[in-house]
Amino acid sequence: MKVYFASLGCDKNLVDSEHMLADISKEYEIVNDPCECDIAVVNTCAFIKDAKEESINTILELSELKKQNLKFLVMTGCLAQRYHDDLKELMPEVDAYVGISAINNILDDLKKLKKNRKIVDMPDNNLAQNASGDRFLTPPFHYSYLKIAEGCDKNCTYCAIPSIRGRYRSIPMEELIKEAEYLAHNYISEIILVAQETTVYGTDIYGKKSIVELVEKLSAIEGIRWIRLMYCYPEEIDDDLISLIKNNTKVCKYLDLPIQHASDRILQKMGRRTSGKDIEDLIKKLRKEIPNIALRTSLIAGFPTEEEEDFEKLVRFVKKCKFDRLGVFTYSKEEGTLAASFKGQIRADVKKKRQKALMDVQKEISLKRNSKMISKIYDAVIDGYDSAEGCLVARLQYDAPDIDGCVFIESDKEIMSGTFVKVRITDYSEYDLIGEITE
């Protein structure tokens, strides 16, 4: 039988998908065209409203194929985990609901479908599931995400993740090393560490923060050239982690700090464990210790009760701190979260206006930053070729894939993705750079 697999949502979901695909491919043929499959599996997302809608629409589109060759439709991931009781009634076309802690069971669950059973596999355990060390790698084939933990203990008032994915559970270090060795053996040269929060890795199973030890062991693996840290909560960044980023040559001089806001009142309403001054002091320290570091953050515009004074404080903070990379989300009211019950919900048009205002500020910061890179030479990795623009697309260590900027390179050479080159910056735009290969 043939299986089509759709992975939606975040990079952590993608890692789960690749683990499931590795198991499925042992006994089934994986196909890229849903019209050719006997079984369709959708790994869903339920983080915010838009993600839920995308997941449901994908399921509904695939269910139409049951009029043709599709025999079974399977839902996994966050939407299945959170809403399977309701969806069983609302979406009878779905034949199996496989929970987040059941990804190791996916192969057995598919086999049960042959007996025409309706499956709901939602084990209630507190383990961080890591399937096997193998992954069914999906494009691109030169960088990959390594999920180091599951769940979250922060309980921010706007976030539904703890209620969906449970408490924070670190994946044992030996399993992660095995998985990273597998990735390196398959020519992955950049590993991107992800979790709901990476900085507290190991506290639950080793009794202490172990992210530095993990990264040191990963950096010893031959073939890995870049290691990138994402989702590092500012209050958990200590001197050991700063020293690691500063001194380990394989660790990208890049740090993702999801701060969400700068107004102390809003940070408190969000359930965050830091203050605007704490964040500002950390940024100063990071830039003093690692002068060439690129700092990325994410913000929420229009959180409930956010007054103009709070918003202006955030704008001033962004202008002062001058983040190298910045993304802004409008607040999404998620059922089951404390913030959803707050009075003072902000109108959608106000949220959009504030989002745009913040991005306009960041646009100017980014332009000035990029202008200072002219004529300088950097290491870059080739990510692919843009046929529409007729150029190579590359990244510096200061840019994470998909969310940050690129370097566009005019070149007659055919260069394989994953190749590292020296690039001289010749021009720039708001978020991207233009360069030429010097070596």
Per domain, the residue ranges of the chain are 2-121, 143-371, 377-437
pLDDT at 130 exceeding the cut of 60 = no
Quick one: pLDDT at residue 261? Answer: 98
Averaged confidence pLDDT in the chain: 94
Quick one: pLDDT at residue 412? Answer: 77
pLDDT at 4 exceeding the cut of 90 = yes
User: Which has the closest alpha carbon to 323: 361, 289, 351, 354?
Assistant: 361
Based on C-alpha coordinates, what's the Rg of the chain? 22
Which pair of tokens denotes residue 238?
Answer: 């200590």
Query: In which band, very low, low, confident or very high, does the pLDDT at 411 lie, cut at 50, 70 and 90?
Result: confident
What's the rounded mean pLDDT across residues 208-224?
Answer: 98
Class of domain 2-121: alpha beta
CA angle 108–137–12, rounded 5-degree value: 75
Query: In which band, very low, low, confident or very high, does the pLDDT at 49 lie, cut at 50, 70 and 90?
Result: confident
pLDDT at 128 exceeding the cut of 60 = no
- CA–CA distance from 210 to each of 12, 213, 214, 361 (Å)? 20, 5, 6, 37
Least confident among 102-111, 115-124, 157-166: 115-124
Distance CA 409, CA 388 (A): 13
Domain 143-371 fold: pyruvate-formate lyase- activating enzyme (3.80.30)
pLDDT at 129 exceeding the cut of 60 = no
Kindly indicate whether the domain formed by 377-437 is annotated with CATH number 2.40.50.140: yes
The tens digit of pLDDT for each residue in 229-268 reads 999 999 999 999 999 999 999 999 999 999 999 999 999 9
Quick one: pLDDT at residue 203? Answer: 97
**In the 8-state DSSP scheme, what is residue 251?**
B
What is the sign, positive or negative, of the torsion defined by CA atoms of 152, 358, 277, 331? negative
SS3 for 302-326 is CCCCCCHHHHHHHHHHHHHHCCCEE
The tens digit of pLDDT for each residue in 287-302 reads 999 999 999 999 999 9
